[in-house]
Amino acid sequence: MTPRQPRPPSARPIDTRAFDLLSLTMALVLGLHAPHLPWWLAIALALILGWRWWQRRQRIGRVPRWLKLPLLAMLTLAVIVQYGNIFGRAPGAALAVGLLILKLLETEVARDVRVGISFACFALMVALLFDQGLVATVVVALGLLPALATLRALEPGQLPAPSLPRALLPSLALTAAALPLALLAFLLVPRLSSPLWGAPAQDQARTGLGDSMTPGNFTDLLTDDHPAMRVSFDGAPPAPDQRYFRAYVMWHFDGRSWHRPDPRYAPSRPPAPLEVASSVQYRISLQPTRRRVLPMLDVPLQAPAQATQQADREVMADKPVNDPLDYIGRSALRYRLQPDLDERSRRLGLSLPADFNPRTHALAAQWRQRHGSDDAAIVQAALALFHNGGFRYTLAPAPLGRDSVDDFLFDTHEGFCEHYSSAFTVLMRAAGIPARVVTGYQGGYWNKFGNYLLVRYSDAHAWSEVWLAGRGWVRVDPTGAVRPERVSLGAAAAAGDQLAWYRNDWLQGLRNRWDIVNRWWDQGVIGFDALRQRGLLTPFGIRDADTATLGVLLAISGVLFIGIGLAWALLRRQPRDPLRGALRELERKLARKGIARRPAEGPQHYLSRAARALPGQREELASLMRSYLELRYAHDEPPTEPLRAFQHAVRDFRIVDVVK
């Protein structure tokens, strides 16, 4: 018979530890992608992964094709149904993660493991197309640890680590050793002028404020803790009650929602006249919003570069803000806005839909009759109603019906800034006072360590502006009449017990200090573009480092790193040979009894001579000799279990008698 050819190393079955590490790697990839996968797909893939891990522990072997092929078809169909195709960042990532999990169903040999690890590393990189933040980057780096540990577990002759942390330690050392080279590549590899494959630089753009407002639709925004923008001032920051950042000015009310005029149909008008008593200059770092509006401290004097100022002092960028944007602003803190109201603005500021909110109109008529032409007194009457009328600030208000303002003012008495600003503005218009709704941000946390104001999405706010003779448009915040803490202490303080965890002083302090790290990461890592790279060598007298200069530096640094690595490899101690160590232990035991190994004497001759010298232990020594020779010469690397058995046999060997 023809002797059976041994399997190549890549076709040999893998042990349980290698499969467990591979499963852990895929679980980390799935967990990293889960936030942007459909919830049902993430759960289904997690169940498949868990079932496969359990199934292989019960019986080694690949999953049959009759099960794999339907799962593959269902995955492809699910991605197409969810996204409409399989092309693009989101559908491509979903398909890639699904295929990675299904690859586990046929993984039984080393070749399958290497393919799976390569694909898993690619999927880890894909996660950075969705989020390039510091935490996401660290998680991606940690995802490499089980991947490297899996590859190391495939190396012949590796003894299984006693615990998972011990198995990950060598991978952690390899990752740490690669950090200097990664930093070098980050600094010197020439940057592309546009992102690879046309993908956006990051996917952290959030919708934020919209150009319409319906009482109740701020709820998700008010619980979003992500930074919206960071503001640094030339000098001391304004007081909390002056930290109003204007975004949208809304005139049109349909009985339920407020809208700003459609710029396609509204006539183009210059910014409203503004008389300034004092102003402040500042710099805003705005996070991506996919919208054109640029929030500015109320009221902006002029628009930044590549932006225009609208008639109501809104500021609109020339294109949507899809990437982080820095701009400089200057705004008035004490001012008179549009002291003379034109007829068109007056008509818009008094417009209300017919046959809505009759009780609100009746209340406004009573105020007008009581206070006559004193508009300021009517404003104070409305604020007194909110302050003394049993109103409650809550992020979970009761639903409102068709006459939403009537329901709010006379029935539910609960809501947040949208409800109060909407109801107040309707009351003013019903009383004959021009009024409008303004949305934006209010408050923020002054980070004294970073010397900037941190404004989060949860600081989104809505207030009103009323036009008073001789004073122009005056900001009135009815929410402050109900909950003064909203203006003085911020949104979290206004929410009261509803966000008790959020108001925890220790947690808030930690979050706000952590933002300094995030800001550094955004500016120093994510914001490190081609322009900043060209100025990298300015401290060394090179004002514009072109591609050739960067290439030369990269080549020199690469050669230096290779030289250091080669020297370390040549000078470091060779890896321990456990089989050779066991033989040396046996030699030491025999040498203590006068049976020393001679120079150039082979192990077979030496152990044979020792067996003749110890006739009472001839069979034991002969067995040790056969085991050693088989482990050393019959395999590329000694198998784990026979090697352990040989080590235990040497450890238990005791010399009984010596015959000379």
DSSP conformation letters of 243-309? -EEEEEEE-EE-SS-EEPPPTTTSPP-PPPPEEEEEEEEEEEEEPP-SS-B--EESSBSS--TTEEE
Does the pLDDT of residue 72 top 70, yes or no? Answer: yes
Confidence (pLDDT) at 218: 61
Split at pLDDT 50, 70, 90, the class of 208 is low
Does the pLDDT of residue 370 top 90, yes or no? Answer: yes
Confidence (pLDDT) at 3: 47
54-58, 150-154, 269-273, 375-379, range with greatest mean pLDDT: 375-379
Confidence (pLDDT) at 68: 81
Q: pLDDT tens across 15-50, in order?
A: 788 888 888 999 999 998 998 888 999 999 999 999
Q: Would you list the DSSP string of 532-555?
A: HHHTTTGGGT-SS--HHHHHHHHH
Please count the residues of the chain. Answer: 660
Does the pLDDT of residue 326 top 80, yes or no? Answer: yes
Q: How far is CA 579 from CA 144, 306, 596, in A?
A: 31, 72, 19
The pair of structure tokens assigned to 164 is: 């998972």
Find all residues with CB under 8 Å of 613, minimum gap 6, and list them: 595, 658, 659, 660
121 part of the active site: no
Task: Identify whether the C-beta of residue 316 lies closer than 8 Å to the C-beta of residue 293.
Answer: yes
Nearest to 528 by CA among 183, 290, 110, 216: 183
**Which residue did the predictor score with more confidence, 266 or 657?**
266
Confidence (pLDDT) at 507: 64
Split at pLDDT 50, 70, 90, the class of 331 is very high
Between strands 392-393 and 414-415, the pairing is parallel
Average pLDDT in the chain: 83
Q: Mean pLDDT throughout 416-440? A: 94
Split at pLDDT 50, 70, 90, the class of 199 is very low
For residue 337, the cross-strand partners are 274, 473
Separation CA 352–CA 355 (nearest Å): 9
143-157, 165-179, 539-553, 582-596, range with greatest mean pLDDT: 582-596
477 part of the active site: yes
Nearest to 447 by CA among 438, 460, 456: 456
Between strands 460-468 and 472-476, the pairing is antiparallel
Confidence (pLDDT) at 472: 93
**Which residue did the predictor score with more confidence, 364 or 223?**
364
Split at pLDDT 50, 70, 90, the class of 573 is low
Does the pLDDT of residue 532 top 90, yes or no? Answer: no
Q: pLDDT tens across 609-650, in order?
A: 888 888 888 888 888 888 888 888 877 677 878 888 888 888
**Of these residues, 112, 407, 413, 417, which one is catalytic?**
417
Separation CA 577–CA 91 (nearest Å): 48
Looking at this protein, which amino acid is placed at residue 648? H
Split at pLDDT 50, 70, 90, the class of 508 is low
461 part of the active site: yes
Task: Identify whether the C-beta of residue 104 lies closer than 8 Å to the C-beta of residue 24.
Answer: no
Split at pLDDT 50, 70, 90, the class of 430 is very high
Separation CA 481–CA 383 (nearest Å): 6
Burial of residue 523 (number of CB atoms within 10 Å: 0-12, 13-18, 19+): middle
**Of these residues, 33, 361, 413, 461, which one is catalytic?**
461
Does the pLDDT of residue 247 top 90, yes or no? Answer: yes
Separation CA 582–CA 600 (nearest Å): 19
Q: pLDDT tens across 468-484, in order?
A: 998 999 999 999 898 88
Does the pLDDT of residue 235 top 80, yes or no? Answer: yes
Does the pLDDT of residue 502 top 90, yes or no? Answer: no
Instruction: Report the range of poorest mean pLDDT among 191-205, 281-295, 614-628.
Output: 191-205
321-335, 507-521, 627-641, range with greatest mean pLDDT: 321-335
Confidence (pLDDT) at 604: 86
